[in-house]
Amino acid sequence: MALQLRTAFSNYNKGIALAAAATASTTLALFQYKSSNTKCDDDILHSPSYPWEHLGLVSSYDCAALRRGFQVYRQVCATCHSIQRVHYRELVGVTHTAAELVAMASEVDVMDGPNDEGEMFERPGKLSDPLPKPYQNEEQGRLANGGALPPDLSLMVKARHSGQDYLFSLLTGYCDPPAGKSMLPGLYYNPYFPGGAIAMPPPLNDDGVEYEDGTPATISQQARDVVQFLNWCAEPEADARKKDALTYMLVLGFTAVMTGYYKRFRWSTFKTRSISYVK
């Protein structure tokens, strides 16, 4: 009887172990699955998958890249795009020091008010202000860009399929249209943009910005940096979240081991007893 009980329990444990292994391998397989095939009837070239270092389970953002990316945004993209969900104060300790950001914010004139006389007034920007918008309203943005509105980039990485890979491919993917493809005036050929014709002129040029840390400002370097910065804008809590998750996993792991040990301890009397029937 004892033997039967023991066999039943060890089979039960084996069943759990098998189920756990199957779940783990399925999850791993799903993680590795990337749908980067291009089908014949697609009107878009799918972006390849790039090895972004900050996406690792225990890796963090590269602050030097974020600082360079913010520089690319300010000097290139900010002419047409806003990042209205990010405030100067949120960049403190991420891309620049508080003093640098105070100086940077104060260069911008911000409309505030009304004052005691009911008038709106202009004042120098403060840390609590959002990053400035290039256009006052949507109509102005459309007018300046041939009818196409440059979208806000705060959550752009989350708003597009394969976010960072797509953005990197879009910024580096401008090329001549294939033979037979005619482009309307004001549109540029980019195979990664749905339909292939985008109203954004190629924004990046080699040495278009001059990095203060001396990094060569190639197109792909600028694209990589600005995409990392835009990823931070969409997910500024990623580093803290990974750190918390690691702590939780360690604590949960410890609890699981202790629970297992405790279960064996409590059951040991049942598992080791022998029952004999005496007439």
Which residues are annotated binding-site positions for heme c?
Answer: 77, 80-81, 200
At residue 87, the 3 state secondary structure works out as strand
Question: Can residue 80 be called a binding residue for ligand HEC (CB under 6 A)?
Answer: yes
Binding residue for ligand HEC (CB under 6 A) from 201, 205, 210, 256?
Answer: 201
Question: Can residue 81 be called a binding residue for ligand HEC (CB under 6 A)?
Answer: yes
CB contact at 8 A, 72 and 229: yes
For the four alpha carbons of 173, 174, 179 and 184, in that order, the dihedral sign comes to positive
* Number of residues this chain uses to bind ligand HEC (CB under 6 A): 23
Question: Can residue 140 be called a binding residue for ligand HEC (CB under 6 A)?
Answer: no
Q: Is the peptide bond before 114 cis (omega within 30 degrees of 0)?
A: yes
Question: Can residue 167 be called a binding residue for ligand HEC (CB under 6 A)?
Answer: yes
**Judged by CB, which is closer to ligand HEC: 118, or 153?**
153
User: Which region among 37-45, 82-90, 166-174, 258-266 touches ligand HEC (by CB under 6 A)?
Assistant: 166-174
Binding residue for ligand HEC (CB under 6 A) from 105, 204, 233, 234?
Answer: 204
H helix runs in 160-237, sequence order: 163-172, 219-234
Maximum alpha-carbon separation in the chain? 106
Question: Can residue 86 be called a binding residue for ligand HEC (CB under 6 A)?
Answer: no
Nearest Cα to Cα of residue 146 among 89, 86, 188: 188
> What token pair was written down for 166?
């797509």
Binding residue for ligand HEC (CB under 6 A) from 79, 128, 140, 247?
Answer: 79
User: Which region among 19-27, 194-202, 213-221, 239-247 touches ligand HEC (by CB under 6 A)?
Assistant: 194-202
Q: Which of residues 33-72 bind ligand HEC (CB under 6 A)?
A: 72
Strands 121-124 and 109-112: antiparallel
Q: Which residue has the tokens 């006389």?
A: 117
Cα–Cα dist 18/202, whole Å: 53
CB contact at 8 A, 44 and 194: yes
Site string for ligand HEC, 174-193 (x = CB under 6 A): -------------------x
Which residues would be at the binding site for ligand HEC (CB under 6 A)?
72, 76-77, 79-81, 145, 148, 150-151, 156, 160, 167, 170-171, 193, 198-201, 203-204, 226
